[in-house]
Amino acid sequence: MYEQIASNKRKTWMLIILFIIIITVIGYVAGIITETGQSFLIFALVFSIIITLISYFSADRVALSVSGAKGPLAKSDNAYVYRLVENLSITAGLPMPKVYIIPSPALNAFATGRDPEHASIALTAGIIEKLANEELEAVIAHELSHIKNYDIRLMTLVVVLVGTVVLLSDYLFRWGFIFGGRRRDNQSGGVGLIIGLVLLILSPIIAQLIKLAVSRKREYLADASAALMTRYPEGLASALEKISQGQPMQKVSKATAHLYIANPLGSLKKGASRLFSTHPPIEERIKALRNM
């Protein structure tokens, strides 16, 4: 379990470094083509950070509202669920998060919040009803692991990087398209247009793929952390099996799909899931848990 946790942390930061390299290359090319040096790169970074910070402080409320979650839950509302969360929070050394219930028969859950002191966990009515005690405990441990590992904060950083890549590549293309033909050196302007077009098409796609890869690595990390917390990997493996056989959620947004323990939109076909899914294939997660 410790090896799994260390491996996923290393891979996550390797992807972050790749992000920064892409942004640096785009900024360097943009400075040459637009003859503005690095001023636009700095502007793009500042702008993306400001927009993301606004989202960062309100993202939890948006996610809970979009999912239709009801709460926060009091102990008198559902003592069973409340005590599970409370006991696991003590085990993990975390403050007790707010608990919300999503009125849906689907089997799913997610955690949100900018840090452990401002965290919430949402569980569907279906997952509370259909999972055994040790399975539901494992799911809650998975969500608490996301909070403890600061995955929400990490994904906010990734959103900043993705936004910066999109902003830079879009600006580079527009500059080449609008001003390329007016430059004295028409050949240079044409080259700028071609480079800008290539970066416009490829950079956002690569950035989104890296974002999804980071999300998938954090799911593996949360699985391993949950197994370490409960000392019972089979509990989460069994829960994931039941979740995979359940129905997709009806009320969900693609923007918040990466928060859930399993893709709430349903799994993609096997060939595409590795690249374009917010979650790793459940069968691979189950295999990793049972090899611990």
Catalytic residue numbers?
143
At 101 the three-state DSSP class reads: strand
93: left (phi over 0), alpha (psi -120 to 50) or beta: left
CA gap 236, 8 in Å, rounded: 18
Which is nearest to 137 in space by CA: 147, 150, 127?
Answer: 127
Burial class from Cβ neighbours inside 10 Å (0-12, 13-18, 19+) for residue 129 reads exposed
Q: Write phi, then psi, for 180 (nearest 5 degrees).
A: -60, -40
User: Which two tokens mark 164?
Assistant: 């910066």
Cross-sheet strand order for the sheet of 109-113: 98-102, 119-124, 109-113
Residues facing residue 120 across a β-bridge: 98, 112
Asked if 88 and 144 touch (Cβ cutoff 8 Å), the reply is: yes
Which among 239, 215, 243 is positioned nearest to 289, based on CA atoms? 239
